[in-house]
Structure 1
């Protein structure tokens, strides 16, 4: 009877030891998953900031182009007083389309 109780006690201790190992492994896995999540969030945050920065720069370039084209249009049409509408809207639209295409390409490259 004592031998049987001893065997049961050993089995319980072995099971307890196993469960402790499993708990440690689980904790390690959770810790690793947490770290991976944080890294992913950090990377996504950086990518978003880069995209915003690129878009901001492209918008600035676009505005520069539009102002450049509109002043050029005004200068060229100032000699011709009958033409009060300079042909800048089409040129500005073309510049805006080019900038939008560049923005789309940059977004695709960043993704």
Structure 2
């Protein structure tokens, strides 16, 4: 038993370890994480949550097919070409549900790579 602010607590009742999902883990650790989807409104095929640079999204599934993005943490540049080249758009935390409605639709179905911006 320990005394904290004149309150007695049983040490066995304190939860010391908590499982975190990818989003919460990246937020706590100060990292960056995002997820992409092939269709608007976070539908269609969704990628796993990623937290590192991707020089080329899976060409059979995501390359030039991304229509919505969730940025859970950090700031990302999404590039139109592989290996972080072509035109890029910088996105911070938020939900981008329909890239065809964003910046005149020029980033809908063209994204090929993503890179974490160092802040």
Instruction: Flag the structure with larger Rg.
Output: 1
TM-score, normalization by structure 2: 0.22
Please, what TM-score do these two structures have when normalized by structure 1? Answer: 0.24
Q: Which structure: greater helix fraction?
A: 1
Higher strand share: 2
